[in-house]
């Protein structure tokens, strides 16, 4: 069994001009995040694509260097019988979900670090700035060495009504278009969430409610005047949006407001990152 990654430098050096290197790196799991294995007596094993996978790859490719990093092995094995999914199908499966080549790199089980019975993705071996790396998986153990680089999604059960990848696309685009300097200062606010994308949607709804009641417009960078609420407020703990709602209610009642002014939010949007 392989215990250490096959190389201390899993990815080549970032591209330099005149070539384009996306500003962020997305490391995403294949099984139960992008695909779900299903078995039946009629068809045997089949792999179902998650709704929104094409949209995610197409929209994020200009902003993120996309790396599919799976704990599965890479080559196709001999046909397996029984009710266990084949374990060595990752390479052709990635081909099937990415016909247009949006995925920059592919990493498999031999690139993980085996610890306490888990295959761990150690981003210190990626040869990328950890401040710009987002790991998406359905197992928190997969990024336990750098917990504030990870986003743990609920495991997809194969439902055709699932919208998680659309929400994930919106979340990651907001990070990139906001010019976040260190993604860990965002992701740590979602570290304890059972469903971080649901939390993101709640905060976004709160932001829209504040914007509507205030009559202002969200700004991208967070340095606007007192009439605007930064779009990056969705990355704060939900208590921050609730404080804004309370303040607006006090203003409507003619009371002296307590708490934050909208223009002072920028200094509190990004709590200090817990560096690894």
Tens digit of pLDDT for each residue in 119-155? 999 999 999 999 999 999 999 999 999 999 999 999 9
Cα separation of 31 and 48, whole Å? 10
| Overall size of the chain counted in residues | 276
Q: What confidence score (pLDDT) does residue 158 get?
A: 93
Task: For residue 205, give every residue at least 6 positions away whose Cβ sits within 8 Å of its Cβ, in sequence order, or none.
Answer: none
Q: How far apart are CA 137 and CA 255, in angstroms?
A: 46
Phi, psi of 40 (to 5 degrees): -145, 160
Nearest to 241 by CA among 226, 260, 254: 260
| Residue whose pair of structure tokens reads 């979900």 in the numeric block | 97
For 132-270, where are the alpha helices, taking DSSP H only?
164-177, 184-187, 196-214, 238-252, 266-269
> Which residue ranges does the chain devote to CATH 3.40.50.1000?
24-192
Kindly state the greatest CA–CA separation across the chain: 74
> Residue 248 phi/psi, 5° resolution?
-65, -35
**Rounded Cα distance, 47 and 85, in Å:** 9
Find the mean pLDDT for residues 249-266. 43
Q: What is the pLDDT of residues 39-95, one digit of tens each?
A: 878 877 788 999 999 999 999 999 999 999 998 876 544 344 444 444 446 778 898
What pLDDT sits at residue 67?
Answer: 98
For residue range 211-228, what is the model confidence (pLDDT) as tens digits? 788 775 555 444 444 444
Q: How far apart are CA 185 and CA 149, in angstroms?
A: 9
CA distances from 210 to 124, 136, 237, 270 (A): 39, 30, 15, 19
Tell whether domain 24-192 is in CATH 3.40.50.300: no
Q: What is the pLDDT of residue 5?
A: 83
SS3 assignment, position 105: strand
Q: Which residues of 27-61 are buried (b: 16+ CB within 10 A; e: fewer)?
A: bbbbbbbbbbbeeeeeeebebeebbbbeebbebbb
- Residues 128-155 as b/e (b if ≥16 CB within 10 A, e otherwise) read bebebbbbbbebebbbbbbbbbbbbbee
109 close to 69: Cβ distance less than 8 angstroms:
no
Give residues with Cβ within 8 angstroms of 105, minimum separation 6.
11, 65, 67, 68
* Number of other residues whose CB lies within 10 A of the CB of residue 203: 21
Strands (E), 172-231: none
pTM: 0.77
Contact 214, 249 (CB under 8 A): no
């Amino acid at each position: 069994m392989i215990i250490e990654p096959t190389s201390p430098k899993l990815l080549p050096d970032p591209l330099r001009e005149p070539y384009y290197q996306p500003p962020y790196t997305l490391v995403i799991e294949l099984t139960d995040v992008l695909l779900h294995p299903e078995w039946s007596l009629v068809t045997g094993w089949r792999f179902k694509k998650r709704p929104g996978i094409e949209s995610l790859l197409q929209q994020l490719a200009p902003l993120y260097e996309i790396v599919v990093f799976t704990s599965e092995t890479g080559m196709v094995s001999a046909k397996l019988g029984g009710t266990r999914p084949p374990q060595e199908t990752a390479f052709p499966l990635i081909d099937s979900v990415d016909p247009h080549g949006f995925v920059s790199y592919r990493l498999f089980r031999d690139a993980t670090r085996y610890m306490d019975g888990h295959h761990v993705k150690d981003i210190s071996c990626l040869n990328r700035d950890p401040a710009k790396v987002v790991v998406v998986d359905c197992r928190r153990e997969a990024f336990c060495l750098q917990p504030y680089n990870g986003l743990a999604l609920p495991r997809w059960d194969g439902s055709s009504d699932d919208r998680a990848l659309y929400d994930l696309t919106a979340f990651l685009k907001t990070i990139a278009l906001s010019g976040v300097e260190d993604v860990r200062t965002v992701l740590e606010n979602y570290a304890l969430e059972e469903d971080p994308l649901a939390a993101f949607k709640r905060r976004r709804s709160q932001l829209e409610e504040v914007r509507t009641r205030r009559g202002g417009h969200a700004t991208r960078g967070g340095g606007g005047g007192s009439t605007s609420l930064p779009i990056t407020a969705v990355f704060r703990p939900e208590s921050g949006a609730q404080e804004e709602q309370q303040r607006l209610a006090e203003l409507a009642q003619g009371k002296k407001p307590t708490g934050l002014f909208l223009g002072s939010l920028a200094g509190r949007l990004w709590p200090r990152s817990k560096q690894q």
